[in-house]
Amino acid sequence: MKLLRFARGFVNFVPTKEMRKDTAKHQGLRNQLVNLLREKGISNEDVLQAVGKVPRHLYVDSSFEQFAYRDQAFPIRANQTISQPYTVAFQTELLEVTEGSKVLEIGTGSGYQAAVLCEMGVKVYSIERQKELFDHTRELLQQLGYRPTLKFGDGYKGMPTYAPFDAIVVTAAAPEIPNALLAQLKVGGKLVIPVGDVSDVQRMYCITRKGEKQFSRATHGDFRFVPMLGNKE
Ligand code: SAH
């Protein structure tokens, strides 16, 4: 039986998570990626250091592993994507968070963005609405030693139990800015969210809560994300 399993595995060899390693070669590729992000304008050293630490190749499908350190987005399970490293770094930089900050992420996906925030010493809360992804990523993050608070549910509602947050990052395309997320920001906190046509291009918004009822907004260029879906879709 053992032999049979081995033979089958040999013909169609797909390394399991347990077998996938982080090597000096991966670290070298990560260092190159960090340099590229710096050249592209990312300047927050905490963000760059975190990108330099997270083994991104373990967050992509094993068939994409060799490309994991390219500055590209890739498909992950359940028809979703792992964001491009530049986009992850750019959104993280806009959050302006430091060690100990409380951050809510909408769209856990592969868990890569959550891991980058964990490496920065941030207290991470993250919501995912696809059960398959949620289950897979919860296990992966645990195996890799990251301990964010994960929730299976609808990100449009946020996580009122743990609110308010120092920052909220939405990693899926929203047709509009959800009021529930604005309400869960601390005064002084930031919501970073791609807003626009969810089937095309979105604009990156950074909303700052200036007071109980006062918000200011700035925009930061165009991006493409998978749609942030509501309950009924
Ligand atoms: N941050 C992720 C990016 C994943 S892509 C990463 O680092 O890999 C966006 C994710 O948002 C998908 O997994 C999708 O299932 C999820 N998503 C879409 N709508 C959502 C919603 N309403 N609530 C929570 N997650 C949602």
Residue 227: count of CB within 10 angstroms of its CB: 14
Q: What is the CATH number of domain 71-223?
A: 3.40.50.150
pLDDT at 1 over 90: no
Reading phi first (left if > 0) and then psi (alpha if -120 to 50, else beta), residue 40 is in alpha
**pLDDT tens readout for residues 149-199:** 999 999 999 999 999 999 999 999 999 999 999 999 999 999 999 999 999
Binning pLDDT at 50, 70 and 90, where does residue 78 land?
confident
Is the overall model pTM greater than 0.85, yes or no? yes
- Residue 83 known to be catalytic: yes
Binning pLDDT at 50, 70 and 90, where does residue 3 land?
very low
Any idea which residue has 């950074």 for tokens?
206
Task: Check if 151 has its Cβ closer than 6 Å to any atom of ligand 1.
Answer: no
Catalytic residue among 83, 101, 110, 126: 83
Phi, psi of 80 (to 5 degrees): -110, 180
Task: Check if 82 has its Cβ closer than 6 Å to any atom of ligand 1.
Answer: yes
Under DSSP, is residue 15 helix (H, G, I), strand (E, B) or coil?
coil
- Please give the number of the atom of ligand 1 that sits closest to the Cα of 229: 19
pLDDT at 6 over 80: no
Q: Strand locations in 80-224, DSSP E?
A: 80-82, 102-106, 123-128, 149-152, 165-170, 185-196, 202-209, 215-223
Would you state the pLDDT for residue 27? 96
